[in-house]
Amino acid sequence: MNTQGWLQVSLYLGVLLVLAKPLGWYMARVYAGESVGLNTLLAPVERSCYRLLGIDEQTEQSWKEYALGLVLFNTVGMLMVYGLQRLQSSLPLNPDRLAAPLPDLSFNTAASFISNTNWQSYGGEVTMSYLTQMLGLNVQNFLSAATGMAVLIALIRGLRARSSATIGIFWVDLIRSILYILLPLALILACLLVSQGVVQSFSPSIEVVLLQNTIDTDGHLVSTQNLPLGPAASQIAIKQLGTNGGGFFNVNSAHPFENPTPLSNMLEMLAILLIPVALCFTFGIMVNDPRQGQALLTVMMVIFIPLLLFGVIQEQAGTPQLAALGIDLGASDMQAGGNMEGKETRFGVVNSALWAAATTAASNGSVNSMHDSYTPLGGLVPLFLIQLGEIIFGGVGSGLYGMLIFALITVFIAGLMVGRTPEYLGKKIEAFEIKMAALVLLIPCIVVLCFTALAVTTPWGKGALYATNIEYTSIANPGPHGFSEVLYAYSSMGNNNGSAFAGLGANNPFYNTTGGLAMLIARFWIIVPVLAIAGSLAAKKTVPSGPGTLPTHTPLFMTMLVGVVIIVGVLTFIPALALGPIIEHLMMLGI
């Protein structure tokens, strides 16, 4: 990697850490109910929300009540998003008169947006009306993000509580996350994006005359182009900050109306990881030991940076096939050249590979380049980051509570080594916590591998007939690359990421239905065990640390935690990766 590449990566990580620490402090004060400077303006709105919902903010909930409220709330949200899609042709703010999506696509999209996955089997500008985008999808961008943050805060309360039967109030955590954190940040970012040329309009699409006529795929002369518009900036801001990732336009943040300049690209990349990184600092403050949050952040960085650099190097190296054509990819040309297929020239290789790593380390899923066009090992990086469980930063809230589950597993393993009951932050980690943690680790793996196996071994996954006797093909690429596309799709949906290799034809009843189920299972069958762990820990007394206690902020523990994360990911997915990107790389080399 050349000097310019090193500077781009270093600048991004440096600015990210500088911004994250004060935000972490701010969020800790928000969840503690302390003054943060916006209380004069927002406290009356907060109290009005409580009165409207009939909430007594002094009466806390048990973990079961917390989980029940969360599941019911998200169920209602899913039904509303589904209904908006099915009725959109009859509703206002549909200037292009778009028809209603089919039932299977509507189910998939509703499951996607309430689970914070934002997987899209459709092109936004030609499928969803402005009302559906704003009232359905954009609202869920806030609500699904706030749901993940609320679960994390409940788990933190469980860790710091002493013999408590409650873990907080879901509705209070949800409303504070939206009012004091997500809304202000989204408003600032949306204004900055508009200043860079991101569209924000209620106008219908417009037809413009091309400067030069062209020929379409059917051989017809084309002299005009239809340019879609819409309220994009407001949705893009929260899609990045909330680690949602769903694009207003079909090609997501590669579209010049979503991401027009290098500065907008930098702002959106920072937004993807800003809250997940800041929550590590929030965690340290809320458990009264900043070293704990810093240790978890260090573990994330230790895993993230080598994978990021590996991906950048693979993309800058290009392919042997290009070299065989006599194309010079020497050190001076690698920044401008390398593997530029599927990438925007205004971003180049480094910013494209950096975005790919950031969006899959977080459960974001937005893209500024097409992962399907990456080199085999370059594409392996975002795929493996997803398969680690979306815990290397991960989604807002969900990434850190996933990493805390791995921390519990690590102290349990350490306890087995020395023959004593493990402890984490003064709480005994016993059989119930480990059983729940095992569910959190196993469920996404089972979902990914089982649905992938079903897709590649059945006619419905490879291609079949619609009920109307119209034939469709899902896996158009034969061999290992087609397998990689399917594996990536279910890895993405089964870990609530939402990005795709994009070569897979997924808008059909099989993938829409199985994908929707995968997203719902991977979200809520994880959240409930996490809340159960929070309730169990909250009920326990705090145990003073002793000579046999494993410190969980030291290099030794961080090394063990890195090892556990990598080993679980490798043991689970390396056979599947060997059948996809690894063997494709060997074939590319002619081995």
Which two three-digit tokens encode residue 204?
Answer: 């219908």
Nearest in space to 124 (alpha carbons), one of 270, 257, 271: 257
Q: Which domain holds residue 268?
A: 3-210+239-588
Give the containing element (helix H, strand E) for 206.
strand 206-215
88 contacts 94 by C-beta, under 8 angstroms: yes
Task: Dihedral sign for Cα 235, 238, 240, 245, please.
Answer: negative
The pair of three-digit structure tokens given for residue 584, joined into one six-digit string = 């494709």
SS3 222: strand
Instruction: Give the pLDDT band of residue 406 (cuts 50, 70, 90).
Output: very high
Does the structure show a pLDDT above 60 at 469? no
- Tell me the per-residue pLDDT of 232-291, one tens digit each, with 9 for 90 and over: 999 999 999 999 998 899 899 999 999 999 999 999 999 999 999 999 999 999 999 999
pLDDT tens, residue by residue, 534-567? 999 999 998 887 777 889 999 999 999 999 999 9
130-155 average pLDDT score: 96
- Determine contact, residues 361/402, Cβ cutoff 8 Å: no
For residue 109, give both structure tokens: 């999209």
Mean pLDDT of 223-237: 91
Kindly provide the b/e burial profile for residues 315-344, where b requires at least 16 CB atoms within 10 angstroms of the residue's own CB: bbbbbeebeeeeeebeeeebbebbbbeebb
Q: What is the mean pLDDT of residues 195-201?
A: 94
Q: Does residue 298 lie within any of the structural domains?
A: yes
Phi, psi of 321 (to 5 degrees): -65, -40
H or E segment to which residue 465 belongs: strand 463-465
Within-domain flag for 536: yes
Report the SS3 class of residue 215: strand
User: Which is nearest to 256 in space by CA: 188, 186, 199, 339?
Assistant: 199
- Using CA atoms, how far apart are residues 523 and 111, in angstroms rounded to an integer? 10
Mean pLDDT of 47-74: 94
Dihedral sign from CA coordinates of 86, 90, 94, 98 = positive
Residue 581 CA to residue 384 CA, distance in Å, equals 10
Residue 335 confidence (pLDDT): 42
Domain annotation covers residue 77: yes
Residue partners of 113: CB distance under 8 A and separation at least 6: 81, 136, 137, 140, 141, 144, 244, 246
**What would the mean pLDDT of 295-303 be, rounded to a whole number?**
97
Within a domain: 297: yes
State the Cα–Cα distance between residues 265 and 348, nearest whole angstrom: 11
Would 405 be classed as within a structural domain?
yes
Residue 70: partners with Cβ closer than 8 Å, 6 or more residues away: 147, 150, 151, 170, 527, 531
d(CA 78, CA 107): 8
What are the two backbone dihedrals, phi and then psi, of residue 423, each rounded to the nearest 5 degrees? -135, 150
**pLDDT given at position 336:** 47
pLDDT class for 2, splitting at 50, 70, 90? confident
Q: Is residue 227 included in any domain, yes or no? A: no
Torsion angle of C-alpha atoms 74, 177, 493, 438, degrees rounded to 10? -90
224 bridge partner residues: 209
Cα gap 492→501, rounded to integer Å: 10
- Separation CA 24–CA 44 (nearest Å): 24
- Cβ atoms 105, 126 nearer than 8 A: no
Specify burial of residue 576 (Cβ count, 10 A radius: 0-12, 13-18, 19+): buried
Compute the distance between CA of residue 2 and CA of residue 349 in angstroms, rounded to an integer. 12
Of 63-67, 96-100, 242-246, the range with the highest mean pLDDT is 63-67
**What are the residues facing 473 on neighbouring strands?**
463
- Domain presence at residue 225: no
What is the C-alpha separation between 428 and 319, in angstroms, rounded? Answer: 52
Taking only the tens place, the pLDDT of each residue in 101-116 is: 999 999 999 999 999 9
Q: In this structure, what DSSP letter does residue 202 have?
A: -
Residue 473, pLDDT > 70, answer no
Q: How far apart are CA 143 and CA 75, in angstroms?
A: 12
Q: What is the pLDDT of residues 483-535, one digit of tens each?
A: 999 999 999 999 999 999 878 888 999 999 999 999 999 999 999 999 999 99
| Cα–Cα distance, 137 to 475 (Å, whole number) | 28
Among 279, 35, 47, CA closest to 172: 47
Mean pLDDT of the chain: 91
pTM flag (> 0.75): yes
Q: Among all chains, which residue has been given the structure tokens 């194309």?
A: 327
- Rounded to a whole number, what is the distance in angstroms from the first to the last CA of the chain? 26
Residue 512 covered by a domain? yes
Tens of pLDDT along 301-347?
Answer: 999 999 999 999 999 888 877 767 766 554 444 444 688 888 999 99
What is the C-alpha separation between 165 and 538, in angstroms, rounded? 7
pLDDT tens-digit profile of 164-190?
Answer: 999 999 999 999 999 999 999 999 999
Domain count, the chain: 1
Bridge partner residues of 206 (DSSP): 227
With CA atoms as reference, report the closest residue to 454 among 512, 514, 501: 514
How would you write 23-41 as a 3-class SS string?
HHHHHHHHHCCCCCCCHHH
Closest CA to 314 of 252, 251, 387, 373: 373
Q: Please say if the pLDDT value at position 354 is more than 90.
A: yes
Structural element, H or E, at residue 76: helix 63-87
- Predicted pLDDT of residue 331: 43
Is 170 in contact with 72 (CB distance < 8 Å)?
Answer: no
Q: What is the pLDDT of residue 225?
A: 86
User: Can you tell me whether residue 540 is helix, strand or coil?
Assistant: coil
SS3 state of residue 156: helix
CA gap 513, 494 in Å, rounded: 13
What pLDDT score does 326 carry? 67
Residue 574's contacts (CB-CB under 8 Å, 6 or more residues apart) are none
505 CB-contact burial (10 Å; exposed 0-12 / middle 13-18 / buried 19+) = middle
Separation of alpha carbons 132 and 83, rounded Å: 10
